[in-house]
Amino acid sequence: MVDALVATMHWISSHSAAQIASKMPPSYVSNGLTTRADYISALAKDKAQFLPDGIMPASGPQAVLATDKTAGKVTGPVTLATTYTNSFAIQANKLEGFMK
């Protein structure tokens, strides 16, 4: 699963929002909530949220924890080092030929 996600992240980073939209189901990019043009515009502005290699930056876990605390989803202590790992994404990048 991680291999597919990493390959997808690399694909997203190397294609335009319009190219991505052309691969999506038509009803996803144009429906009662959005038009195709609006979908493409929003994706072009927000595409950077998809990290090309799927590897969480060092500041990522703390940012996620802070958001979850603000939302009231975390009320107790959390040891970040035991809650995430990049090892699967690193292995997937190697398997897909993106990293040695």
Number of folded domains that form the chain? 1
With respect to residue 100, please indicate whether it lies within any of the assigned structural domains.
Answer: no
Looking at residue 28, its pLDDT comes to 95
Q: Is residue 74 part of a domain?
A: yes
Predicted structure pTM score: 0.76
Q: Is residue 44 part of a domain?
A: yes
pLDDT above 70 covers a percentage of the chain that reads: 100
In order, the DSSP letters of 48-85 are GGS-TT-PPPTTHHHHHHHHHHHTTS--S---GGGT--
Residue 100 confidence class, pLDDT cut points 50, 70, 90: confident
The model's confidence at residue 47, banded by pLDDT at 50, 70 and 90, is very high
Query: Is the pLDDT assigned to residue 49 strictly greater than 90?
Result: no
Where in the sequence is the domain holding 7, given as residue range(s)? 2-95
> Is a pLDDT exceeding 90 seen at residue 46?
yes
Q: State how far the Cα of 7 lies from the Cα of 95, in Å rounded to an integer.
A: 10
